[in-house]
């Protein structure tokens, strides 16, 4: 902890943001950028300029939503914790429903939530841990 000189005495400064503060925020940015990568498949089609722009926008709606959630949860960790966990649950349910509704040969789709919902759950839990830690300090 750093010391701040105040007159002739030294007083410790409060450590601003530790690893539990920065980890969910940095992981959220990385996760959102990871989701944006999935939108690049829109360039495979022959949609024209405006079709491609519309496709990019539609593919990036979840990323834009999570970006707004990240901005809100920078100060209000509970929002990030709840929304990221709910987003992971929603994606898991969607994948399970797709497997049930499709042919049994598409069972491999059950592994998708590990790569998408898993990080969302982890980020949400980290936001909630940060919130509990701040709440405990008060």
Q: Using H for helix, E for strand and C for coil, what is the string for 41-87?
A: HHHHCCCHHHHHHHHHHHHCHHHHHHHHHHHHHCCCHHHHHHHHHHH
For the chain, the structural domain boundaries read: 19-137
The answer to whether residues 2 and 105 touch, using CB atoms and an 8 Å cutoff, is no
**pTM for this prediction:** 0.81
Task: Kindly give the parts of the chain with pLDDT less than 50.
Answer: 1, 8-13
Tokens of 110: 């059950």
Q: What are phi and psi of 132, to 5 degrees?
A: -65, -40
User: Could you read off the pLDDT of 73-86 as tens digits, one per residue?
Assistant: 999 999 999 999 99
């Amino acid at each position: 902890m750093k010391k701040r000189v105040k007159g002739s005495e030294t007083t410790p400064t409060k450590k601003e943001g530790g690893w539990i503060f920065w980890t969910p925020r940095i992981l959220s940015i990385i996760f959102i950028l990871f989701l944006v990568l999935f939108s690049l498949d829109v360039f495979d089609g022959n949609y024209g300029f405006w079709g491609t722009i519309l496709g990019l926008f539609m593919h990036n709606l979840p990323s834009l939503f999570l970006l707004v959630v990240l901005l809100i949860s920078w100060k209000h960790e509970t929002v990030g914790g709840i929304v990221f966990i709910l987003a992971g649950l929603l994606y898991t349910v969607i994948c399970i429903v797709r497997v049930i509704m499709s042919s049994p040969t598409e069972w491999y789709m059950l592994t998708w939530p590990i790569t998408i919902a898993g990080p969302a759950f982890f980020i949400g839990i980290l936001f909630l841990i940060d919130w509990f830690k701040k709440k405990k300090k008060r």
